[in-house]
C-alpha cells in the first residue's frame, strides 16, 4: 500500500512570509497527525484529526498556525506569518485507529527553513 | 517533569555489544508504549510495540515496568545498521502519543 505523502519536501522562506504544507494519509486511515520536530528533539504533536474533526490542537500556536482536513482525507498545515523559531521538520502521520493505541505511519516530512 | 524522558546519549558501542535504553513516563494512566527508530534525516518508523509481559523480536527485547513507570529496549549483538535515534513513545492515557527526545546510538566498527 502507498505510504503517507507530503509536499513540498523542502521549503526556504523569509520571516513574516506564509507557507503551506500538504499531506495525503494512507487510504482508509481515520486519524491524521501533524508534528513539529526541531533538530535534536522528538516530534511534538501540533494537531490531530479524526476523520475531518479536530481531536487535539492544544499545542498548535493558533495565532499563526492553522490546519484543515477537508473530507476526512488530505490535510494542509499553514503558517502565517512565519518566525525564525518555526524552522523545523513538519511530519504528517496517519493511523488506522482513533489514536493512542496503534502504529502511526509517518510521511517523509517537510524541512522548513525560515531566514 | 517531562511526560516522557530519555537519556539523549549518544551511546557509542562496538559491533557485537549489548546496549540498553530506558525511558520513563509520568502518566500512570498510560496504556500503550512503543519504540520507534529514526534514521538521520528520515521519518520515524515503528520498531516494536511494548507489551505488559515483555516482547522480543530477533535481537531486540522490550520490557515494561508499570510500578516504576519505565520501558526499556535491549539490543543484542549490535550491528552497524542499528546506528540511529531510538524514540520512546507513550500514549497520554487517552488518544494522544507523547514522544521522548530520543536516544542516539552509534555502533562502531
Q: Which of B92, B82, B72, B55 is nearest to B20 (CA)?
A: B72
pLDDT for residue A86: 98
> Residue A85 carries which DSSP code?
G
In chain B, which residues have their Cβ closer than 8 Å to the Cβ of A109?
A: 43
Phi-psi region at A99: left, alpha or beta (left = phi > 0; alpha = psi -120 to 50): left
Task: Give the mean pLDDT of B25-31.
Answer: 91
d(CA B52, CA B68): 13
pLDDT for residue A101: 80
Please, which residues bridge with residue B41 across strands? Answer: none
Torsion of CA B36, B39, B43, B45, to 10 degrees: -30
In chain B, which residues have their Cβ closer than 8 Å to the Cβ of A41?
A: 101-102
Cell of A26: 494512507
pLDDT(B45) > 90:
yes
Cell of A69: 482536513
| Upstream peptide bond of B12 is cis (omega within 30 degrees of 0) | no
pLDDT for residue A90: 98
**Burial (0-12, 13-18, 19+ Cβ within 10 Å), B53:** exposed
User: Are B95 and A48 within 8 A, CB to CB?
Assistant: yes
pLDDT(B52) > 90:
no
Per the listing, cell 517537510 goes with: A110
pLDDT for residue B40: 95
Q: Which of B89, B102, B104 is nearest to B25 (CA)?
A: B89
With an 8 Å Cβ cutoff, is B27 touching chain A? Answer: no
**Number of cross-chain residue pairs from A and B with Cβ atoms under 8 Å apart:** 56
Tens of each residue's pLDDT in chain A, 115 residues: 689 999 999 999 999 999 999 999 999 999 999 999 999 999 999 999 998 899 999 999 999 999 999 888 999 999 999 999 999 999 999 999 877 788 999 999 999 999 9
A94 alpha carbon, distance to own chain's centre: 10
Cβ distance A30 to A51 under 8 Å? Answer: yes
Give the list of residues 6+ apart from residue B57 with CB closer than 8 angstroms, or none.
B48
With an 8 Å Cβ cutoff, is A91 touching chain B? Answer: yes
User: Are A101 and B32 within 8 A, CB to CB?
Assistant: yes
With an 8 Å Cβ cutoff, is A63 touching chain B? Answer: no
d(CA B3, CA B11): 22
Output the average pLDDT for chain B. 94
Cβ distance A93 to A103 under 8 Å? Answer: no
Question: Strand A10-13 relative to strand B70-75: parallel, antiparallel, unpaired?
Answer: unpaired
Cell of A88: 523545523
- Other Cβ atoms less than 10 A from the Cβ of B59: the count is 13
User: Are A100 and B97 within 8 A, CB to CB?
Assistant: yes
pLDDT for residue A102: 85
Q: What is the pLDDT of residues B87-107, one digit of tens each?
A: 999 987 678 899 999 999 999
In chain A, which residues have their Cβ closer than 8 Å to the Cβ of B24?
A: none
With an 8 Å Cβ cutoff, is B39 touching chain A? Answer: no
B22 alpha carbon, distance to own chain's centre: 7
Amino acid at each position: 500500500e502507498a505510504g503517507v505523502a507530503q509536499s513540498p519536501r523542502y521549503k526556504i522562506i523569509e520571516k513574516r512570509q506564509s507557507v503551506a504544507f500538504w499531506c495525503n494519509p494512507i487510504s482508509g486511515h481515520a486519524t491524521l497527525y501533524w508534528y513539529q520536530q526541531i533538530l535534536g528533539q522528538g516530534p511534538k504533536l501540533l494537531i490531530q484529526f479524526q476523520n475531518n474533526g479536530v481531536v487535539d490542537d492544544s499545542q498548535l500556536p493558533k495565532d499563526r498556525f492553522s490546519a484543515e482536513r477537508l473530507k476526512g482525507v488530505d490535510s494542509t498545515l499553514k503558517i502565517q506569518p512565519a518566525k525564525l523559531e518555526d524552522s523545523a521538520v513538519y511530519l504528517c502521520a496517519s493511523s488506522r485507529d482513533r489514536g493512542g493505541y496503534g502504529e502511526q505511519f509517518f510521511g517523509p516530512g517537510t524541512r522548513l527553513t525560515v531566514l | 517533569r517531562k511526560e516522557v524522558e530519555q537519556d539523549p546519549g549518544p551511546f557509542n558501542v562496538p559491533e557485537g555489544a549489548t546496549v540498553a535504553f530506558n525511558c520513563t513516563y509520568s502518566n500512570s494512566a498510560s496504556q500503550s508504549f512503543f519504540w520507534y527508530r529514526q534514521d538521520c534525516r528520515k521519518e520515524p518508523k515503528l520498531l516494536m510495540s511494548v507489551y505488559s509481559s515483555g516482547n522480543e523480536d530477533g535481537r531486540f527485547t522490550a520490557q515494561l515496568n508499570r510500578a516504576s513507570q519505565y520501558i526499556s529496549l535491549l539490543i543484542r549483538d549490535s550491528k552497524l545498521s542499528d546506528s540511529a535515534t531510538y524514540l520512546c513513545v507513550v500514549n497520554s492515557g487517552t488518544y494522544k502519543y507523547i514522544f521522548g527526545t530520543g536516544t542516539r546510538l552509534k555502533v562502531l566498527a
